Amino acid sequence: METLLEMMKKYPLLSSWDSNTRWSGFLSVNDDLLRITIKVPKYPLVVGGEILGDKSTLALCASFNAQIKNLFSKKSLTLVPLLDAFVDLIQEKDNLNGNALKMEIVNDQFYSVLMKELEEIGLENIVHLSDNYREIHVKFASENGRMHLVKYHLHSKYPDVSLKVNFEMPSELENFVWPNRVAEANRLITQYVCRFDQFWKEMETLDAKLKVIDPLRPNRSHCYRRIMLTNSVNLHLDVNPLKPKGFPEMSFSGPEKIVGHLESILQKNCKQWDEEKSLLDNLESVLESQFLEKGDEVMDEGNDSMNCIVCLTHELGNNTPGRRCECGAQYHNQCLYELFLSEFSTNVKRSVDCPMCGMELKILVIPD
């Protein structure tokens, strides 16, 4: 039975994946490079395997499909002799057609440089490698164990043209000029993320504990949060990613009376902000408030948070708030209609924007 070392010596341009059950890379045929992927679920035996590849490779294989199927049906055949036979088939076909065979010629420097780069990163860290080797997804862990995913897009002239990189980082990297080499860019990113570990920790705490209503699916590039402080008041927060425990930009939305009271409390306590404390502890301290948490029930009959945010009362005549926005704000139907009438001159739709979050609310019933 052949060894892994024998395979690597004979076909060094093929890399193994998924516990050696998938081999991807290039075969050298008549001084050209043919891109190929071979699945061998019972490696080193090839029985039950198949050849994959791009359109040119599959078109090439179609011309001797019967011979390939026969090779994969042999129960004792291993990968190296299968590849030997496959290369012989291609060379024979190529010679018979006067070298007219249309193989995709690949820049040898592109592949040789890239394989060294991937080995430096570690093949175990490669999450995805496209068939044409132009898109690579790499995972890595920061010093505190937080996992990250980076997507690299390579130009056909790699490594002579700079990379395109997709990575969830704060906006200051949007116009960053990345280096040409994947390994160099990866080193740069792994060193850079440590600057934001505390920022991500603080934001992840807010997302885990509080009722965050915007963004709906926070990612690591988002520096803002809109958080329900009560059922009728939202806190708008913008955090400096390089100073996440510093005093953030804050504003409130909700009933004017309550918002005014919170702004007065914030102005009175802002100098008490302590950068030794967590972001959440500071917010609750300077606002003298406890945030609604994810598991909290806000529909409590005896709670002021059930009040309509337009009239600030629970009962209006014999009616209680009958409409509720996704952000938690509640309205009497009559108050919502009066809000619609107040905007009627500029509102051509039968809707109003929620004063809390800006979401469109349809006017379903027009009161008599």
| SS3 of 233-301 | CEEEEECCCCCCCCCCEEEEECCHHHHHHHHHHHHHHHHHCCCCCCHHHHHHHHHCCCCCECCCCCCCC
pLDDT for position 213:
83
Give strand pairing partners of 24. 15, 37
Side-chain half-sphere CA neighbours of 276 within 13 A: 1
- Dihedrals phi, psi of 181, to nearest 5 degrees: -95, 140
Find out whether 231 and 221 touch, Cβ atoms under 8 Å. no
pLDDT digits 0-9 by tens, 52-111: 876 777 777 888 889 999 999 999 999 999 999 998 888 877 654 544 344 444 555 677
**What are the residues whose beta carbons fall under 8 Å from the beta carbon of 341, sequence distance 6 or more?**
none
pLDDT digits 0-9 by tens, 165-176: 988 888 655 567
pLDDT digits 0-9 by tens, 220-255: 989 999 898 887 788 999 999 999 999 999 999 877
Average pLDDT rounded to a whole number, residues 248-273: 90
